[in-house]
Amino acid sequence: MLGLKKADLRLFLIVVGLVVFAPFLLNPFPESVGMAQFNAGYPDLMQKLVIFGIFAVGYNILFGLTGYLSFGHAAFLGVGSYSGVWMMKLLTMNVIPALIVSVIAAGLFSLLIGYVSLRRTGIYFSILTLAFAQMCYSLAYSVLTPITGGETGLTLSLSDPRILGAAQAADGNIPAAHIFGLGMGESAELVLGDWSFTFNVGYYLSGIVMLVAFYLAIRLFRSPFGLMLRAIKSNQTRMSYTGLNPRPYALAAFVISGMYAGLAGGLMVAMDPLAGAERMLWTASGEVVLMTILGGAGTLIGPILGAGVIVYLESIISTINSSVLHGWFNALPDWLENTLVNIMYPFVGSGWHLTLGLVFMLVVIFLPGGIVEGGKRIAGVFKRNRAEPSGDIKKSAEPGE
């Protein structure tokens, strides 16, 4: 089915289920309880989860398969964002052309950067990509201000010479991004008792795009091309001795990965038509590296899981302040309440990076293969527990044979 093997099809269907039922899965607690603080089923966060999932899946094609560690992928995210906004300013507020142009622009730009950077390997390649990304950030922030908007970013305005569609809506405001008339911000709510579930157009568009991107990644992983990329990671020198030139394959992987980043950037502006130079910062490139390693580099679903963990920590843990902590422990004696708040406070709010650092450290030390390895270990324990009874029966039967 869909040209996938049984295991891959099962994994794909799991991701489909996660995307479709995310509004329910991310809102496990009723709004009337304190634990609702950890609910994540609101549109902005769900959109961010799937968009960064696309970014991480694309990065995994380069890093997970070929072993090339790029610190400059944020440049392609930024190029995709700027291209998407310009399409909305000049052509139409329909997000489809914006997404297409974002992918093409990021692909062409990554072809240029990859052609130069892949002349080196190892740390030298990483430094080259980082240098290019920082140069792009500097250009976008200052030199190319007429194109990028500089430090204020590139936004839509009422004076945009849009070819298809009006420059302003009936109420006098800037038209909203849409897909064939269906606005990205439109939502429907389902209220069940104390639970409230939101179904947002923008989220489900992003989710469909992510499913397509994930499906293509699976096909690439299982293709002969994916096998060649694994050979590059395994032993590039030995591959060269066979008469095969690894550079074209590595460059193709770099471009495909850059196109995924451009697609993520295009989706960002489809949800919120704004592009800023900060998306090209090295920290954005570092985040996608963390996502891939945290989830499991070289695995299929790992980058999506890693992206989910980091985006969740950033969006939920960072909103917890001292008042929330005091609310959690107010039933305890004052001295114990204050002690617990003082212990936990450095790890929440603006200190959420400390929590992320601890999680990352624990995963790298105890689960070098990322979250996916942890899942495999748990599954292995259950398989052994199921296999043990049958093994005992077999042993007891042996003497009578």
State yes or no: pLDDT of 235 exceeds 90. no
pLDDT of residue 396: 46
Average pLDDT over all residues of the chain:
90
Cα–Cα separations (whole angstroms), residue 230 to 225, 235, 249, 250 = 9, 9, 10, 10
**Does the pLDDT value for residue 204 go beyond 90?**
yes
**Residue 322 maps to a domain:** no
Residue 53 in domain? yes
Asked if the structure places residue 352 within a domain, the reply is no
Residue 115 lies in a domain: yes
| Distance between CA atoms of residues 288 and 300, nearest Å | 15
Lookup: tokens for 285: 């490139």
DSSP string, 271-300: HS-EE-GGGGSHHHHHHHHHHHHHH-TT-S
In this prediction, residue 389 has a pLDDT band, given cuts at 50, 70 and 90, of low
Report helix, strand or coil for 338. helix
Number of H helices, E strands in the chain: 16, 6
Question: Token pair of 381, please?
Answer: 């324990």
* Conformation bin of residue 311: beta by default, left when phi > 0, alpha when psi is -120 to 50: alpha
Cα 227 from Cα 284, distance rounded (Å): 29
- Residue 75 maps to a domain: yes
Work out whether the CA dihedral 14, 372, 41, 258 comes out positive or negative. negative
Is-contact 81 269, C-beta < 8 A? Answer: yes
Distance CA 138, CA 133 (A): 9
The domain total for the chain is 1
Decide if pLDDT at 308 tops 60.
yes
Task: Report percent pLDDT > 70 for the chain.
Answer: 97
Interatomic CA distance for residues 184 and 176, integer angstroms = 8
What pLDDT digit, counting tens, does each position of 30-72 carry?
A: 888 778 888 888 899 999 999 999 999 999 999 999 999 999 9
In this prediction, residue 388 carries a pLDDT of: 67
End-to-end alpha carbon distance in the chain: 44
Residue 346 or residue 384, greater confidence: 346
Instruction: Please give the Cα distance from 83 to 104 (Å, whole number).
Output: 9
pLDDT at 311: 93
As to burial, measured by CB atoms within 10 angstroms (0-12 exposed, 13-18 middle, 19+ buried), residue 374 is: middle
Q: Is it the case that residue 390 has pLDDT exceeding 90?
A: no
Q: What is the mean pLDDT of residues 357-362?
A: 90
At 1 the pLDDT is 74
- Domain assignment present for residue 343? The answer is no
CB 187 within 8 A of CB 201: yes
pLDDT digits over 147-187, tens only? 999 888 999 988 888 898 877 887 888 889 999 889 999 99
Give me the DSSP letters along 345-368: GGGSGGGHHHHHHHHHHHHHHH-T
C-alpha–C-alpha distance, residues 137 and 141, integer Å:
6
Range of the domain at 175: 18-27+40-280
CA distances to 9, 114, 271, 295, 388 from 40, rounded to whole Å, are: 27, 37, 17, 19, 40
Q: Among 216-220, 248-252, 343-347, which is the least confidently predicted range?
A: 343-347
pLDDT tens by residue, 86-144 = 999 999 999 999 999 999 999 999 999 999 999 998 899 999 999 999 999 999 998 89
300 C-beta neighbours (distance < 10 Å), count = 22
Q: Write down the pTM of the prediction.
A: 0.92
Around Cβ 40, how many Cβ atoms within 10 Å? 18
Confidence class of residue 259 from pLDDT cuts 50, 70 and 90?
A: very high
